[in-house]
Structure 1
Amino acid sequence: MKSVDVKVNLEKIKNSISDAERLSGRAEGSVKLLAVSKFHPAQSVVDALNAGQTMFGENRVQEACSKFEEICKAHPETELHIIGTLQKNKVGRAVKICSCIESVDRLELIQEIEKYSLLNNKTIRVLFEYHTGEESKSGFTSYESLQEAVKYCAEGKSPHVLPSGFMTMAPFTQDEKAIHASFAGLRKTAERLRREFPQFALGTLSMGMSGDYRIAIAEGSTEVRIGTAIFGEREYPAA
């Protein structure tokens, strides 16, 4: 495969994010970069850490554990987020390795995260995944179901789960108006829920990937999830 300079790529992406912040009238540094290391080797993560990147995202719990257990010991500044659909039977392992779960898409998952966070004596930040795009995407599909999940946390039923914001994926389309609408929809939903539940900051809006992060920043994203532009093409495992 073609050699990838992770340090150079990180610098390019960070400069591009800064440009998008400026063009959108956003404060410099208001958008965080989550480096998505799915299907990339541990050495690529270490290269990114050595270049100053500390926040990483993984889709699969098994891969995250095998890759990050040693990395987190050697680099305690590492912050791992789980961003993929999370099965109930994987929650225990996820809680042990990560600091944030961005893909909370049902109330049952909050209950499981609470159970394992209590067992591990830690607090896990969570983002509620809200469905604003494709039919095939996961996430809460109505404002009422999302509201119910935040309310559950507000009632003190999950003290080891800290609601920190929201995540979405835009539809896979070339129609920029549709992408804008998807991200704007999450922003407006988040604003409404912040007013309703002021006890939680709910300040994180995780939206925007390699193809649409500039639009996401224009619509208020505070975190973009970038993989290929940093680490190169993914090495998918053999079927």
Structure 2
Amino acid sequence: MGLNDIKTRIAAAAEKAGRNADSITLIAVSKVQPEDRVLHVLDAGQRIFGENYVQEAQGKWPGWRDRFPGVELHMIGPVQSNKAKAAVGLFDAIHTLDRMSLAKKLAQQIADQGRAPQLFIQVNTGDEPQKAGILADELPGFLAACRDLGLAPQGLMCIPPEDQDPVSHFRLLRKLAGENDLPFLSMGMSADFEAAIAEGATHVRVGSAIFGARDYG
């Protein structure tokens, strides 16, 4: 696999779903990937990348951005409240707005820095106690509270339970987005992005299928 293969599969999935492939944003998830792999994908023309850790992204992307104009960074991992300042300063989108304490920190930093990343609310579609995210029935109230802070979330994100068919979770996220007038859906990863596209994903987060398996050792 690789970048071109994933782009071809995205285009095919979009066509099958009667959608325009240009309506789907491919986020290349570069967390914990060796520098040579990321540079190879940058050289191939990819400019939208996802990271899970603020500190890791701070250590590598400022220099790469100087070398590769047009890079767009998406935060797709949990954001600690004490990292809100750095996250707002570094990322163009944050997919993991998952609690009111973080919303307040982000609102303050957006006001202070005059920089407003695109925001996605993470929804815990599987109601998993160990997983971050707003529960589905709490979404309208949370969204209203965010807007009261001056935030303008534009989409929803989910990570379906590993032991379940993801399609029902993608459908729930699409339903919630429609009910709350949110245009963007961040859903689908290496193993299931084609199913997510069939259910309306506007952003897919693909890592190992582009870069190869991660080495956490």
**What TM-score bracket applies, with the shorter chain setting the length?**
over 0.9
1:217 corresponds, among 179, 197, 204, to 197
Superposition deviation, residue 43 in structure 1: 3.5
Aligned positions of 1:105-184 closer than 5 A: 105-133=98-126, 135=128, 136-144=130-138, 146-155=139-148, 157-158=149-150, 161-173=151-163, 178-184=165-171
**For the structure 1 residues 10 and 134, does the alpha-carbon distance in structure 2 shift closer, same or farther, using more than 3 Å as the test?**
farther
Provide the rounded CA distance (Å) in 2 between the counterparts of 1:143 and 1:77: 38
Asked whether the 8 Å contact 1:42–1:68 carries over to 2, the reply is: no
TM-score relative to the length of structure 1:
0.85
Identical aligned residues as a percent: 38
Say whether 1:187 aligns with 2:174.
Answer: yes
Report how far residue 75 of structure 1 moved: 2.4
What TM-score does the superposition give when structure 2 sets the normalisation length? 0.93
Distance 1:74 1:143 in 2: 44
Alignment partner of 1:128: what SS? strand
Output the CA distance in 1 between the equivalents of 2:111 and 2:34.
31
Residues paired across the two proteins, number: 216
Query: Cα–Cα, structure 1 residues 58 and 71, in superposed 2: closer, same or farther, change >3 Å?
Result: same
Q: 1:121-162: per-residue Cα shift (whole Å, max 9, x none)?
A: 211211000111361321101323x2123213433x22xx43
Q: For residues 85 and 55 of structure 1, what CA distance do their matches in structure 2 show?
A: 19
RMSD across aligned positions (CA): 1.6
Unaligned runs of 5+ in 2: none
Aligned with 2:46: secondary structure? coil
2:68 aligned to which of 59, 75, 96: 75
Unaligned runs of 5+ in 1: 1-7, 195-201
Q: Separation in 2 of the partners of 1:81 and 1:205?
A: 14
Letter in 1 for 2:172: G
